[in-house]
Amino acid sequence: MRVLNNIKEVRDQVKKWKYEGFTVGFVPTMGYLHEGHKSLIERAFSENDKVVVSIFVNPMQFGPKEDLSSYPRDLDADSILCGNAGADIIFHPEDKEMYFEDFSTYVDINGLTEELCGKSRPIHFRGVCTVVSKLFNIVPANRAYFGEKDAQQLAVIKRMVRDLNFDIEIIGCPIIREEDGVAKSSRNTYLSESERKAATILSGSLEKAKDILNMGERNCEVIRKVIIDNIAKEKLAKIDYVQVVDGLSMKVVEKVNKSILIAIAVNIGKTRLIDNFTFEV
């Protein structure tokens, strides 16, 4: 497995593979890889001849008060995980390789980026869509793999690919969790011991919502309240949002009469964690 920093090098290699008749799977990440990322890479490996993983902590998707400078990084450990999971190339560009000093072109998706995470992170999805567009042009893969952990991001990317006719198939992969239910995340490393325990409140509350849905509850406000009341029991937790939405538009839903996404964002101390699940009727 090779680590490439240069746009031309990775693009030429991917083009060559495709010319030779190989299919290419692509997994965009910000590094500090864990089992969640690994599941994406393994899926890409199982469905394609070649696999490219990008590791780039994209400054454009972080707000001024967010954790860009403290975001965890460990290329050595990431290389081992990528190699074991079947990756052929890690694309690991420096900021200046990705952004010219006078960079001035952005990809902005309206509507569904203004809900949920878009409310508390107003520039986030513009940064995500811009960098993912660039990455799709740099790595002209057949398929790209994204986690359902970031359900809104997955919906946004699917919309972008549809609207802008990117020639790539977007594949969503299930959330990988720790044994106690906490969704794996590079940001979990920020949590102190007590905060890590408190983080179980996210998945625990979603489980409670799942239970009442399975018992037949169809009123979204009731479901929301069950989650909110449960999170309130945890002193270290502060809700950013708890929403029951349509999984495509991210618009709030009142009655569960079709597939819905229940998405939550909760601050545990200074760390903002997200979790979700989709309920099919």
Residue 61 in marked binding region: yes
DSSP3 helix / strand / coil % (the chain, rounded to 5):
40, 20, 35
Spot the catalytic one: 4, 37, 79, 98: 37
Report how far apart, in Å, the C-alpha atoms of 251 and of each of 91, 115, 177, 244, 280 are.
35, 7, 26, 8, 16
Location of structure tokens 């998706």? 109
Stretch that binds ligand AMP, among 1-9, 76-84, 179-187, 229-237 (CB under 6 A): 179-187
134 binds ligand AMP, rule: CB under 6 A: no
Choose, by CB under 6 A, the member of 176, 227, 245, 260 that binds ligand AMP: 176
Report how far apart, in Å, the C-alpha atoms of 124 and of each of 60, 66, 163 are.
7, 10, 19
149 binds ligand AMP, rule: CB under 6 A: yes
DSSP E strand stretches across 101-194: 143-147, 169-173
Which residue minimizes CB distance to ligand AMP?
147
Residue 79 in marked binding region: no
276 binds ligand AMP, rule: CB under 6 A: no
Residues 160 and 36: their CA atoms lie apart, in Å, by 23
Least Cβ distance, residue 34 to ligand AMP (angstroms): 7
61 binds ligand AMP, rule: CB under 6 A: no
184 binds ligand AMP, rule: CB under 6 A: yes
- DSSP codes, 153-165: HHHHHHHHHHHTT
Least Cβ distance, residue 177 to ligand AMP (angstroms): 7
Q: Is 92 a catalytic residue?
A: no
Decide the pairing of beta strands 260-268 and 237-246.
antiparallel
Choose, by CB under 6 A, the member of 173, 182, 223, 226 that binds ligand AMP: 173
Pull the structure tokens for residue 269.
């101390």
Site string for ligand AMP, 201-240 (x = CB under 6 A): ----------------------------------------
Pull the structure tokens for residue 89.
């190339």
Mention every residue, 6+ apart, whose C-beta is less than 8 A from residue 67: 187, 190
Pair 57, 73: CB distance under 8 Å: yes
Decide the pairing of beta strands 143-147 and 169-173.
parallel
Residue 186 in marked binding region: yes
Site string for ligand AMP, 19-38 (x = CB under 6 A): ----------xx-----xx-
175 binds ligand AMP, rule: CB under 6 A: yes
Q: Would you name the residues annotated as active-site residues?
A: 37
By the criterion CB under 6 A, which residues form the site for ligand AMP? 29-30, 36-37, 39-40, 146-147, 149-150, 173, 175-176, 183-186
Annotated binding site for beta-alanine: 61
